[in-house]
Structure 1
Amino acid sequence: MKDVRPKFVHVKGIGFSALVPLDSYENGLRELIESLYGKVQIRIVDMRRGVYTSRGHGS
């Protein structure tokens, strides 16, 4: 049985922090955020385990 609980991305920049759905982030939201805030740090949040998975920029 497939787990359908979503994954989120915690996006952090200078003066900016947001939790957004991973699929939204990968489907255009990343470009918007980077155009507004420049380089940002992201962490994948897996709601199934409730843990953060660190992911460097550009991976």
Structure 2
Amino acid sequence: MHLRQPSIDHGVRSFIWAVVFFLFLYFGAVAIGVTRGTAFLVALVSGFLIFLFVRTRGT
């Protein structure tokens, strides 16, 4: 009997990538002194673009 991981929808996987990178970019920008509002907007836009990229081109 071979145990394997359950199948995860590609959209869910793309969303997880986007959330991880959003948090990484947001906290990284705040850590280096960028204001929270600017860091949030840049991380939000970047997270959305990462979501689209992984959704369309990821495996």
Per the normalisation by structure 1, the TM-score is 0.33
* Structure with the largest fraction of helix: 2
Structure number with larger C-alpha Rg: 2
Q: Which has the higher contact order (CA 8 A, sep 6+)?
A: 2
